[in-house]
Every structure is written in C-alpha cells, then in structure tokens.
Structure 1
C-alpha cells in the first residue's frame, strides 16, 4: 500500500508543482486575470500563491511535514475556488458551466488534500518526517 500512496502523492503533487511554475514565472499575466476577477493586489497575490502551492506540493510529494503541506494546499484551493471561479456571478450559460467545473475541481482537490492530511497525521507511510500536527 505504501507504493500506491506514493504514486498518489506524485500524481497529486505534479498538478501543483506545474501550476506553481506558472504562478511564479508568469505572475504578471496571471495576475491580470486575477485582477479581472476582483482579487486585490493580484500580481503579488499570484506570486504568493505560487510560493504557497510550490511549498505545499513539494511537502506532499517528499513527505516533509506532509500534513502541513496538505493544509497549505487547502489554504490555496478554497479561496481560489470562491474568488476565481464564482459561477454564481456568471450570466452566460457556457461561462457559468466552465466556472462551475473549475469551482468543483478546486473543492474536490481541497477534499483530497484533507484526505492526505489525515494520512500524514495518522499513517505517514513513505515520509521523511513525522507529522507536524
């Protein structure tokens, strides 16, 4: 089962590591989109969220305080779902559907991050450190 957990961590973390790269290297462009969605201090917020998901993704991947990394990802995902994917604000049916899909994806990923939190806190498996919490 440890190998399956490791494969799951790799697949899960890969999404965030790739996204972090975009947030950190294209902060201005991504910040412009975030500003259009009403995010205050959009460019610095984009860069900061890149750091957050880089740290969270690496933590989950490597098993270095994976419980903390999981919580960092939840801290990113839930506000992102609400601020960036407010499907309830959309009037165009296609836009509403796309934002609802993105909202649900972020919330499902937050649920997965919470499940990883539990795993790291109760059954660390293939980790380099014990749980922080």
Structure 2
C-alpha cells in the first residue's frame, strides 16, 4: 500500500508543482490575467498562490506533514475556483463551458485535498515512505 500511496502523491502534485513554477516565473503575466478576473492585489495574490502551491505540493510529495500540505492546497483551490473561474459571469457559451470545467476541476481537486487531509491525519503514522507523520490528529 505504501508504494500506491506514494505513486498517488506524486501524480496528485504534478499539476500544482507545474502551476507553482509558472506562478513564480511568470508572475507579472499571470497577475495581469488575475487582475482581469477581478482579483484584488493580483501581483501579490499570484506570487502568494505560487508559494502556497509549491509548499503544499512539496509537503504532500515528500510526506512532510502531508496533511498540512493538503490543507494548503485546499486553501488555494476553493478561492481560486470562485475568483478565477466564475462561469456564471460568462456571457459567451464557449467561455462559460471552459470556465465551468476549470471551476469543477478546482472544486474536485479541493475535495481530494480534503480527503487527503483526513487520510494523512488518520493513517499518517502507519504509512511508510514519508519523512514525518501528520501534524493534525483526526480520530
């Protein structure tokens, strides 16, 4: 089971690591897009979300307080879904569909992150292939 959990951790964080690199290397460009979506303090939000994704993804990947890492990813995902992918504001049908898919992706990944918080908090000390046990205790 340890190897399956490790493979799952690796696959789960690929999107976040890739996005974090983009947020941290193309901050100004991505901040312009965030600003066009109405995000306040777009530059700071873009850089901060890059750091949040990197920290959360590395925590889950390496198994260093992986429950906290999953929480950081959930904290990123739910507001991002609401702020960046507000499909209900789109007038164009194609744009609405694109934003609906992105919104649902973020909400679904947020749900998976919540499950990971519970999983790592509950079974974290019994899992192999992690550096630390969980930070939180869920019984």
Q: TM-score range by the shorter chain?
A: over 0.9
Partners of 1:28 and 1:123 in 2: CA distance:
40
What is the total number of aligned residue pairs between the two structures? 133
Partners of 2:35 and 2:12 in 1: CA distance:
27
> How much has 1:14 moved relative to structure 2?
1.3
> How much has 1:2 moved relative to structure 2?
1.1
Q: Which SS does the other structure have where 1:38 is aligned?
A: coil
Cα deviation 1:95-130 (Å, max 9, x = unaligned) = 000000000000000011111111110112132111
Aligned residue in 1 for 2:130: 127
Aligned residue in 1 for 2:74: 74
> How much has 1:90 moved relative to structure 2?
0.5
Verify: 1:44 aligned to 2:44, yes or no. yes
TM norm structure 2: 0.94
In structure 2, stretches of 5+ residues that fail to align are none
Partners of 2:5 and 2:134 in 1: CA distance:
16
TM norm structure 1: 0.98
Aligned residue in 2 for 1:103: 103
Partners of 2:8 and 2:119 in 1: CA distance:
12
